[in-house]
Structure 1
Amino acid sequence: MAQHPDSPIVTIAPGDVRGVWRGEPGAPGSSAAFLGIPFAKAPVGELRFGAPVPPDPWTGVLDATRYAATAQRGDPGITLIPEPSIPGDATLNVNVFTPVPGEADAALPVLVWIHGGGFISGSPASPWYDGRAFNRDGVVTVTLSYRLGFDGFGHIPGAPSNRGVRDWLAALEWVQENVAAFGGDPSRVTIAGQSAGGGAVLTLLGMPAAQHLFHSAWALSSAIADVSPERARTLSAKLANLAGVAPTREGFASVPEERLHELQEQASSPDDPNPLAGILMLLQDGLSLGPAIDGDLIAQPTLESLRSGVGADKPLVLGATDDEFTMVTDSAKGKLRFVPASVALTKLQPTKAIRRAYLAANAAQRRKGTAAVLGRYVTDVVFRSAVVRIAEVRGDATTWVYRFAWSSPKQGWAMHCLDVPFWFDCLDAEGVPEIAGDAPPRRLAAAVHGAVVGLIRDGDPGWPAWAIQPGATRVFGGEASRPDVDADGYASVRPLLQPT
């Protein structure tokens, strides 16, 4: 990013910050980026495992021209998104992208993006999360960081629960206090995120303590954790045993961060060496680390909170890609070639009636082979069935549902993360050809991104809401013969929708 001689300087509550122009100031399409602004003190020393603490005011001008430290320490490669790790202690920061820095009366709508990564990885410094396309469309964009893994979400006696969630809240409070200085309207904040970030969006939507911080939401491929108290305590005890320390705040604080990350992975893995054990644990128990039901911030599972009406006044768009997980099972298609889908599925779904109904509802997928069926099944259990459940429990609340159905020419599936560069309209960004090929359809990006802007700016993504037309699903990038709006776009997951 080339810096203009007249770098933009904005005054916020703690002090002045200097950003960098992208493009000639005032020219069409130009915007400014303010990177690595702290919303909380570095969570180290006595503040490790503590609630986020607001930063001290500073004198002079804070340089905000490059990304700050990330909580991620080395990209483990569990997503297909380029998410750089940046060393340093001050990991609690925000990045602001705006077309009108310093114009407090502009009152543009605001997008706040929460990155994914299974609550154990990910970075807000991805080139895919740059807000320039949203700036072009009159939307101020903020990306935030949060503590990951055990530091952010582990159960620690004597420490505040859900520290990563508290980081989201602190960042959103920062937006309320400071975004007007960047031309944003704090009363028109839309939160959005993908995968674990989508789970974060739904967690916040169901949290009474977060209701004043945003007015609408978009959740992509949401991975909801809702870790039970018992499971959280068990993981904590297991990790303490592996580390050879007492399961207390003092005990865990004595373990170096790098070592705790190594042991965290070991503690979260199944004891069974069977290759299917990890998938079975995911299907049966969900994620090991993430927002936990603590009786404080999160008093009940997200689905129950939404069912009770929390967040019902906030418009929500949610959906998933058609084959989030199939790329993983596809790697075993040679071994599964001669195994009937009905037999292979027995390992994952023990109930015969559900298996039969599911296979009947997914005949088209079955014709693609057993690996494709297993991948779709895991996709449906973890991601797609939740879309329908959430839309249904929200009742009359304004909810729109979509599917991302365009298949990658590189991977052959509409897999996890593929929709993100279309959502951000950043098809020219680094890493996109590796997942979407050399000529991803720009019309599809315009359709997806345009729907997002429609929600953020006008409160409507452009197709019938679920409460008005139950089952109505916008299909992005489906077969040419299919309508853009399917009357029951998630019909194939209904055999899995047992009462909850």
Structure 2
Amino acid sequence: MDSFDTPGEPSEMRGLPAEVPHRGCPQETVTVRAPAGTIIGRRTGSVRRFLGIPYAEAPTGARRFGAPNRRGRFTEPFDASRHGATAQQVPLFATTTVPEPSVQGDDVLNLGIVAPDADDDRGPFPVLVWIHGGAFLAGSQASPWYDGRAFARDGVVCVTVGYRLGVDGFAVLDDVPTNLGLRDLLLALDWVRDNIAAFGGNPDQVTVAGQSAGGAAVLALLSSPAGSGRFHRAVSLSGVTFAADGDAARDFLGRLGQRLVVPVTRAGFAGRAVEHIQRCVIDLRDEQGDDLPALGLFVGDDILPVPIVDGLTLHGHAVPLLLGATGDEFDGDASTRTAGTRAAGTRVTDTLFRATCPSVAAARRYAVGGTWLYSFEWPSPVLGGATHCIDIPFFFDVLDAPGVAEALGPNPPGELATVTHADLIGFVRGQEPAWARATGTYGDTAREYGRPGAALTVDTTGVFDPVVPAVSGAAEEC
């Protein structure tokens, strides 16, 4: 359907904090008519934002712990000027590298759209659908690090998606569909397919991307028979391929049920508020140290019938994939950053994250879409290395976003953001990366970003390091 822009002031519909204009720029309301209904957003300069749009019914009452139900067409204009509710009601950690605001409310199955202006004649635009990280327990689609303004500037529609987390999204319980969080994401992709043209996007040119748990979700969707046809390119930043251990998950849910004083059943957990459950998860984590509960992707259902690596050999062959990791991930100490230590494959970084890259490339060796690797090597002077999450502001080109200086220092290299973001933009537009495809063999080429001593504005392609042979259980699982 057609879209049109109408200046004016939006009505106050949801009582959420207003979106702050970027750099104090004036805003106007903009209205889009989509198959989902009339949606009212904000325009700042040449960038339009439509935030908190429900793509499914609120997962409350009888719908809690149920498969997501598509949201009906809006009968009244929907005010999309503010971020919607987040599945994270209570932050898992007091401080995180990525700012992860919690927005209260029940309508957590929502998405935000940042798009070029309707008068931009470069469209229809390719679409990037972003899945946030957070170990499938936390995270927020409302993070300022995921603001898609640079994508809109460069002719890409950016969609950020919220999905159910923790017990509500990934518990294994009788009479509860497994992988509810993935089912949410699949429904969100259907919504994008059916509605994104009204925002200037091309439904036949959709890239699904994510970081950490979001990157793992991308790999899961790529390996799933249910993901077929729902997206056309894929990007996984610091993703992994292992799934939750069923016994460990059931043990954790048993202990959680004891703390909540409820039976370990759908009805038992549904009788407790999401916020209450999330606070109890934090308490249990604190009691057992910093180990996270064993909740996450489940293998053995209709969404993930086989392990993710096995699924990658069966599905998604036509989908080009860009994936990589940071050089240090959770090993930021200088003593763990030497080439010898990396090559030994003994670090958490190697076994959990970097080993994923060659194993995925090997599984997709014959994929006609191709697989390309990158390695983000720029060390943050604040965090002591190229640690987990610090590549996000570079890929999004938002080095001026809140929280970036605290994680990256006062002067992160803007030219590195230009190069990193441009590579991602080119991939989303359908261009084949300039470096060689990966096959999962020793010495696969990778694009290196920010390697100390290398120029930031030139192609710093190098060998992906390390390639960890699949000899240990951890390496095989990843």
TM-score range, shorter chain: 0.7 to 0.9
**Whole-Å Cα distance in 1 between the matches of residues 310 and 342 of structure 2?**
32
> Is 1:390 matched up with 2:396?
no
Match of 2:71 among 55, 58, 62: 55
Whether contact under 8 Å (2:55, 2:71) holds in the other structure is yes
Q: Name the aligned partner's letter for residue 423 of structure 1.
A: F
Task: For residue 451 of structure 1, give the secondary structure of its aligned residue in structure 2.
Answer: helix
- TM-fit CA distance, 1:47: 1.2
**Whole-Å Cα distance in 2 between the matches of residues 447 and 5 of structure 1?**
30
- Per-residue CA deviation, residues 215-260 of structure 1 (Å, 9 max, x unaligned), is 0101001134412433333333332233222222111111232222
Match of 1:88 among 98, 101, 105: 105
CA distance 1:410–1:496, change in 2 (3 Å): farther
**Whole-Å Cα distance in 2 between the matches of residues 244 and 427 of structure 1?**
46
> Is 1:322 matched up with 2:295?
no
Whether contact under 8 Å (1:232, 1:292) holds in the other structure is no
**Whole-Å Cα distance in 1 between the matches of residues 25 and 418 of structure 2?**
29
Match of 1:444 among 416, 420, 425: 416
Taking only aligned residues, the RMSD between alpha carbons, in angstroms, comes to: 2.8
Q: Gaps (5+ residues) in structure 2?
A: 1-20
CA distance 1:195–1:499, change in 2 (3 Å): closer
**Whole-Å Cα distance in 2 between the matches of residues 294 and 236 of structure 1?**
19
**Counterpart position of 1:295:** 301
Q: 1:202-213 maps to which residues of 2 (within 5 A)?
A: 202-213=219-230
Whether contact under 8 Å (1:3, 1:20) holds in the other structure is no
> Is 1:183 matched up with 2:200?
yes
Q: 1:405-444 maps to which residues of 2 (within 5 A)?
A: 405-444=377-416
Match of 2:464 among 468, 486, 489: 489
CA distance 1:364–1:207, change in 2 (3 Å): closer
- TM-fit CA distance, 1:5: 7.2
**Whole-Å Cα distance in 2 between the matches of residues 136 and 57 of structure 1?**
30
Q: Name the aligned partner's letter for residue 450 of structure 1.
A: A
**Whole-Å Cα distance in 1 between the matches of residues 450 and 352 of structure 2?**
22
**Counterpart position of 2:11:** none
Whether contact under 8 Å (2:123, 2:155) holds in the other structure is no
**Whole-Å Cα distance in 2 between the matches of residues 16 and 100 of structure 1?**
17
Moved more, 430-439 or 463-472: 463-472
Whether contact under 8 Å (1:405, 1:476) holds in the other structure is yes
Whether contact under 8 Å (1:196, 1:224) holds in the other structure is no
Whether contact under 8 Å (1:453, 1:461) holds in the other structure is no
**Counterpart position of 1:219:** 236
**Counterpart position of 2:13:** none
**Whole-Å Cα distance in 2 between the matches of residues 399 and 198 of structure 1?**
15
Q: Name the aligned partner's letter for residue 324 of structure 1.
A: E
**Counterpart position of 2:32:** 10
**Counterpart position of 1:39:** 55
Whether contact under 8 Å (2:342, 2:350) holds in the other structure is no
CA distance 1:406–1:240, change in 2 (3 Å): same
- Per-residue CA deviation, residues 127-159 of structure 1 (Å, 9 max, x unaligned), is 111111011111011000001101100112112
- Per-residue CA deviation, residues 312-369 of structure 1 (Å, 9 max, x unaligned), is 1100010000111124x67xx8xxxxxxx9xxxxxxxxxxxxxxxxx9x942669xxx
Whether contact under 8 Å (2:89, 2:274) holds in the other structure is no
**Whole-Å Cα distance in 1 between the matches of residues 230 and 189 of structure 2?**
6
The structure with the largest helix share of the pair is 1
> Is 1:21 matched up with 2:77?
no
**Counterpart position of 2:446:** 473
- TM-fit CA distance, 1:167: 0.7
Task: For residue 326 of structure 1, give the secondary structure of its aligned residue in structure 2.
Answer: coil
CA distance 1:113–1:437, change in 2 (3 Å): same
TM-score (norm 1): 0.83
- Which structure is larger by alpha-carbon Rg, 1 or 2? 1
Q: Gaps (5+ residues) in structure 1?
A: 24-29, 334-340, 342-358, 367-372
CA distance 1:256–1:7, change in 2 (3 Å): closer
- TM-fit CA distance, 1:494: 4.2
Whether contact under 8 Å (2:342, 2:465) holds in the other structure is no
CA distance 1:103–1:423, change in 2 (3 Å): closer
**Counterpart position of 1:355:** none
**Counterpart position of 1:336:** none
Q: Percent same amino acid at aligned positions?
A: 40
Task: For residue 76 of structure 1, give the secondary structure of its aligned residue in structure 2.
Answer: coil
Task: For residue 8 of structure 1, give the secondary structure of its aligned residue in structure 2.
Answer: strand
**Counterpart position of 1:461:** 433
Task: For residue 280 of structure 2, give the secondary structure of its aligned residue in structure 1.
Answer: helix
**Whole-Å Cα distance in 1 between the matches of residues 239 and 112 of structure 2?**
23
- Per-residue CA deviation, residues 180-211 of structure 1 (Å, 9 max, x unaligned), is 00010111000100000100110100011111
Q: 1:263-278 maps to which residues of 2 (within 5 A)?
A: 263-265=280-282, 278=291
Task: For residue 435 of structure 1, give the secondary structure of its aligned residue in structure 2.
Answer: helix
- TM-fit CA distance, 1:100: 3.5
**Whole-Å Cα distance in 1 between the matches of residues 128 and 352 of structure 2?**
26
